[in-house]
Chains A and B, each alone.
Chain A
Amino acid sequence: MPQLLKVRNLQTQFFARDSIVKAVDGVSFDLNEGETLALVGESGCGKSVTAMSILRLIPNPPGKIVGGEIFFQGRDLLKISEDEVRDIRGNDIAMVFQEPMTSLNPSLTIGRQISEPMEVHKGITLKKGLLRAKDLLGKVNIAAPERRIHDYPHQFSGGMRQRAMIAMGLGCNPKLIIADEPTTALDVTVQAQLLELMKNLTREYGTALILITHNLGVVARYADRVNVMYAGRIVEKGTAHEIYDDPRHPYTIGLLKSVPQLDQDVKTRLVPVRGQPPDLSKVPEGCAFYPRCDFATERCRKESPVLETVSGNHEKACWIDVK
């Protein structure tokens, strides 16, 4: 399949009074059309900042993309003008945010908010936009959409709002949807429904999906490929199978151990990854995971590991050959 997105050595930093937070520190990855890629990692590992950087939505100040390239359909998004990137936002690349409760405007109707990107990018009228909004709400399984488009967000439940967000994203038939922890704030039952919905819709429309999550259970089921991030870097990448069945980075192994399994003996204790993620304004020299790693050696403390091939497209950034 043709390549849609190519990110090379992306570096995004936040400038505080007397420190620099390297939120994304040299991230590279590729995404093909129609593919689902998961970005996995703990809170504060740079997943969301990576996503926001793709659309150049990093608030400046304090944040700034200081280096790298983001090719979308062959164009470097970091080199085009603000007007050009605005044409891409919501049109070719749509975002679904993690807080459905606060990500919709409380004083505009749902229909209006869904219709808005189509009005801007496809040049249709509000009237036509509302008709489309009605169809889209139906597509995301909201009952009585012709009535619901006139509702305000506070009349929607959390799950319904997130469906509305998805409908909003689908409006312009984007090539890529970036979903930033789309299910984190929702009930578990609703989470599954929503992910299923997103999977079906992206398949139907041939839309590529970047799914940002810290839930590895989600990843296994919905993603084709997985990038595991730690402290602003990708520490392991591969297909969902490779990451699940053959994790090679101690951090990935730690994450997998901390996910409950249905077939596990009930007495088995979950093993959390010990310690805290590092402060990104003072990442230690050497491997950032070194202080929390069970396999750490002297080399890990001094030298920062780079991504190297395990097999095929499976890569890891670790000095140790962990299996």
Chain B
Amino acid sequence: MYAYILRRLLTIIPTLIIASFIVFSLIRLVPGDVIDMMVSQHDIGDAEVTRATLEKAMGLDKPIYIQFGAWLGKIALHGDFGDSLWKGTAVADEILARAPVTFELGLIALTIGLLLALPIGIYSAIRQDTIGDYIGRTVAILGMAIPAFWLGTMIMVYPASWWGWSPSIKLVPFSEDPIGNLKTFLVPGTVLGFALAGVTMRMTRAMMLEVLRQDYIRTAWAKGLKEKVVILRHALKNSLIPVVTLIGLQVPILVGGTIVIEQIFVLPGMGLLMLEAVNQRDYPIIAGVMLFIGLVVLFVNLMVDMSYGWLDPKVRHK
């Protein structure tokens, strides 16, 4: 088992290097580089400052692969992710300052998504073809069909114009005011979670229906167990494997979602950082954030694979 985990952790490294190289080069191929941005925003009248000197100062004059090698080398040898081209601050500090917001948003979205998806999915399955099932399935379709950015925008705009209410966007640290902090995350978390819930709900329902047809469920009924026990102890665990896989697959989508949602609800997370960095072509920040997100996604995938061992005793004993 430990050998397996180690092997999996080692495969993360080449994956990350390849992914970062792609991001690293692509962002440099986008029309309008960081120098254009700087020139357009500041009136650099000084003729002494030429494009060449700026490029040289920022190390952008060398070929991409050399830049990439230097960037990678600094990370590997010194744990140094470089500095922002605009602010001059360390990329690592920028990310660490923003990551908790994104993590909290993602975690709350995932929790809300699962709290919606699992009970409704299970209910839909055990009351197949009843009105409750139809309502549940409609909710699932809505979750899949309504884009989070649209729903987020609607919630920001309409309640404000109708009732003068709008979701709180003032972010207070969790340590100071946990309730106030959660309140801020509740609406964006629900919007994002709702989108995740749709697919997960359908998968839960489908797997539950599949498992409920199995012989061992009939055995459970024949033992005289209550419905609650049959569903929760006998059926649920056996239907969860594909659901967990799906949740793992949704983590990258979740990350993409946070970028948009943070923008709409003005949450100072990594998404907002990333968006600003892309607009300003702040290459080290973009590369750093991508590396970080990649690491998180790969790590979640590893955890998903390891959870199979808990869910399926056959995997555990191999």
- A116-B317 contact, Cβ under 8 Å, with A105-B219, A107-B312: no
Considering only residues 217-232 of chain B, those with a C-beta below 8 Å from chain A are: 218-226, 229
> Is the beta-carbon distance between B234 and A108 smaller than 8 angstroms?
yes
Q: Is the CB of A94 within 8 A of B222?
A: yes
List the A residue with the shortest CB-CB distance to B214. A102
A99's partner among B215, B234, B237, B238 (CB-CB below 8 A) is B215
Q: Is the CB of B313 within 8 A of A152?
A: yes
Give every chain B residue within 8 A of A106 (Cβ-Cβ): 216, 238, 312-314
Say how far B3's CB is from chain A's closest CB, in angstroms. 23
CA distance A91 to B222 in the complex (A): 9
Residue A120 is within 8 A (CB to CB) of chain B in the complex: yes
Nearest chain A CB to B140 CB, angstrom units: 23
Question: What residues of chain A lie closer than 8 Å to B229, measured between beta carbons?
Answer: 120
Distance in Å from the Cβ of A169 to the closest Cβ of chain B? 9
B233 at interface, CB cutoff 8 A: yes
Contact A87 B224 (CB under 8 A): yes
A165 CA / B223 CA spacing, docked (Å)? 11
List of A residues within 8 angstroms of B214 by Cβ: 102
Partner of A105, one of B224, B226, B234: B234
B312 contact set on A, CB distance < 8 A: 106-107
In angstroms, how far is the closest chain B Cβ from the Cβ of A23? 16
Q: Are B218 and A97 neighbours in the complex by a CB distance under 8 Å?
A: yes
- Contacts of A94 on B, CB cut-off 8 Å? 222
- On whether the beta carbons of A120 and B224 are closer than 8 Å, the reply is yes
Interface assignment of B264: CB less than 8 Å from any CB of chain A = no
A90 shortest CB reach to chain B, Å: 4
| Closest residue on chain A to residue B238 by CB atoms | A107
| Chain B 293-318 interface 0/1 with A at a Cβ cutoff of 8 Å (1 = within) | 00000000000000000011110010
Q: Are B224 and A91 in contact (CB under 8 A)?
A: yes
Interface check A88, CB cutoff 8 A: yes
CA distance A95 to B225 in the complex (A): 13
* Chain B neighbourhood of A99, CB < 8 A: 215
Give complex CA distance A259, B238 in Å.
Answer: 41
Given A105-B234, A107-B312, A108-B233; A116-B225 close (CB under 8 Å): yes
Q: Is A302 on the interface with B (CB-CB < 8 A)?
A: no
Across the interface, do B313 and A107 meet the contact criterion of CB distance under 8 Å?
Answer: yes
* Known A-B contacts A105-B238, A106-B238, A154-B314; A120 and B223 likewise in contact (beta carbons under 8 Å): yes
Q: How large is the interface on A (under 10, 10 to 19, 20 to 34, 35 or more residues)?
A: 20 to 34
Chain A residues with CB under 8 A of B314: 106, 152, 154
Contact A89 B222 (CB under 8 A): yes
Q: Is the CB of B215 within 8 A of A89?
A: no
Q: Which residues in A have their C-beta under 8 angstroms from that of B215?
A: 97, 99, 102-103
Please measure, in the bound complex, the distance between the C-alpha atom of A165 and the C-alpha atom of B219, giving whole angstroms: 9
Indicate the member of B224, B237, B311 with the most A CB atoms within 10 Å: B224
A97-B215, A108-B234, A154-B314 known; A89-B220 Cβ under 8 A: no
Does A121 belong to the interface (CB within 8 Å)?
yes
Let me know if A223 is at the binding interface, CB within 8 A.
no
Evaluate contact between B219 and A86: CB separation under 8 angstroms: no
The answer to whether A90 touches B238, judged by C-beta atoms less than 8 angstroms apart, is no
In the complex, the chain B residue whose C-beta lies closest to that of A121 is B224
Residues in B neighbouring A152, C-beta threshold 8 A: 313-314, 317
Minimum distance in angstroms from A289 CB to a CB of chain B = 30
Per the 8 Å Cβ criterion, residues 89-146 of B in contact with A are none
When chains A and B are docked, how far (Å) is the Cα of A108 from the Cα of B221?
15
- Report A-chain residues with C-beta under 8 Å of the C-beta of B226: 86, 120
Assess A116 versus B223: contact at CB under 8 Å? Given A103-B216, A107-B311: yes
CB distance from A55 to the nearest CB of B (A): 6
- Nearest residue, chain A, Cβ from B310: A107
The verdict on A194 contacting chain B, using a C-beta distance below 8 Å, is: no
Flag whether A167 is at the interface (Cβ < 8 A): no
Residue interface bits B231-247, CB-to-A below 8 A is 1, else 0: 00110011000000000
Given contacts A103-B216, A107-B313, 15 further A-B contacts (CB under 8 A): A86-B225, A88-B224, A95-B219, A97-B215, A97-B219, A102-B215, A102-B216, A103-B215, A106-B216, A106-B238, A120-B224, A152-B313, A155-B317, A165-B219, A168-B223
- Residue pairs across A and B with Cβ atoms less than 8 A apart, 18 shown, are A55-B222, A57-B218, A86-B225, A88-B224, A90-B222, A90-B223, A90-B224, A90-B225, A95-B222, A103-B216, A104-B216, A104-B219, A107-B237, A108-B233, A108-B234, A117-B224, A154-B317, A165-B219
Q: Which residues of B contact A (CB under 8 A)?
A: 214-216, 218-226, 229, 233-234, 237-238, 311-314, 317
Please list the 3 inter-chain residue pairs (A to B) with the smallest Cβ-Cβ separation, ordered nearest first. A89-B224, A90-B223, A90-B224
